[in-house]
Amino acid sequence: MKHLHSITELSNDEIMHTIERAIMIKNGEIKRYENIYTANLFFENSTRTKCSFEMAERKLALQVIPFETSTSSVTKGESLYDTCKTLESIGCDVLVIRHPENNYYEQLHELNIPVVNGGDGSGQHPTQCLLDLMTIYEEYGKFEGLKIIICGDILNSRVARSNYHALTSLGAQVKFVAPEIWQDHSLDAKYVSIDDAIEEVDVCMLLRVQHERHDEDAANFSRVNYNRMYGLTRERYDRLKEEAIILHPAPVNRDVEIDSELVEAPKSRIFKQMENGVYTRMSILSQVIENNR
Ligand code: CP
């Protein structure tokens, strides 16, 4: 891995190598890198991805150059490319970027330093995908044959797009649950009712309802109706298989995608995903650093 723009760039072997390296790091095999400088450029809000990258960078002993869009020269109209080229020129070795524009990284091919994508619009979220895969792999030790549903705002979800690609490529059976307005038929997945699927799945992956990406009046959205039709309620939780697990990339809209009382229920791996995010990002950053030397 020389950079990470989209999960579709990675072979199954590279995905498995990244997960296995993350597990080794979790077990204490941590390398430290001297004189490597990074910057995290977040043009969209973030808690998990931004703080998790910063934690990963600090644990690898990287030097993190502070960058805030609100106080940068982006506010004077500087382009994304010129901003990144500036950070390269002053000595950054790796950039982590989240940006609202799909495929923003295509503007950055002339850079001589690697970019790790922290999420592009409704395009891809490869590091979230890899931490989700690590969490599933820790549970089951395989992907082949696992039955997985991804529920919610598929159309606007970079998490759904990345996970669908990777999980099917690794042999899992992935189906979607979504209201018609949030279905994405460019992805070759079957849509099912959550009530028809809930008893047979190994993994129930819930997605955040992304109000910020919706055109329709937010007042038309009913939290109660969404929860009743598509959410993980207590009644559905009780119908899950004994060993089934629940994932959600978070932030969670409590009592919408999932009943509040279930966020930390025994089958929930939501906070495990966040924990694994640090190890996954350490695995990714260390590979990018080593492969660009
Ligand atoms: N899951 C995720 O990307 O969360 P943040 O938006 O808080 O980074």
Q: Are 237 and 259 in contact (CB under 8 A)?
A: yes
pLDDT tens for each residue of 199-225: 999 999 999 997 776 766 555 678 889
Among 42, 43, 47, 207, name the best residue to mutate to test ligand 1's pocket (greatest count of ligand atoms within 8 A of Cβ).
47
What confidence score (pLDDT) does residue 266 get? 98
Considering the chain, what is the average pLDDT of its residues?
96
Q: How far apart are CA 117 and CA 125, in angstroms?
A: 7
The residue among 59, 239, 152, 159 whose CA lies nearest residue 51 is 59
Q: Which atom of ligand 1 is nearest to the CA of 44?
A: 6
Task: Give me ligand 1 centre to Cα 22, in Å.
Answer: 19
What confidence score (pLDDT) does residue 223 get? 84
DSSP state at residue 239: T
Helix axes 126-140, 270-291, angle to 10 degrees: 120
What confidence score (pLDDT) does residue 216 get? 62
What confidence score (pLDDT) does residue 172 get? 98
Q: In the predicted model, what is the mean pLDDT of residues 275-279? A: 98
pLDDT band at residue 75 using 50, 70 and 90 as cut-offs = very high
Q: How far apart are CA 272 and CA 252, in angstroms?
A: 14
The separation between the first and the last C-alpha atoms of the chain, rounded to the nearest angstrom, is 12
Task: Give me ligand 1 centre to Cα 116, in Å.
Answer: 15
- Torsions phi, psi for 147 (to 5 deg): -100, 120
pLDDT at 130 over 60: yes
Q: Which residues pair with 186 in a beta bridge?
A: none
Q: Which atom of ligand 1 is nearest to the CA of 249?
A: 1
pLDDT at 236 over 80: yes
Q: How far apart are CA 156 and CA 207, in angstroms?
A: 10
Task: Give me ligand 1 centre to Cα 205, in Å.
Answer: 15
Q: In the predicted model, what is the mean pLDDT of residues 136-157? A: 97
pLDDT tens for each residue of 179-191: 998 999 999 999 9
Q: In the predicted model, what is the mean pLDDT of residues 7-22? A: 98
Task: Give me ligand 1 centre to Cα 32, in Å.
Answer: 26
pLDDT at 163 over 60: yes
What confidence score (pLDDT) does residue 213 get? 65
What confidence score (pLDDT) does residue 218 get? 58
Task: Give me ligand 1 centre to Cα 157, in Å.
Answer: 12
Pocket of ligand 1 (CB under 6 A): 46-49, 119, 128, 249-251
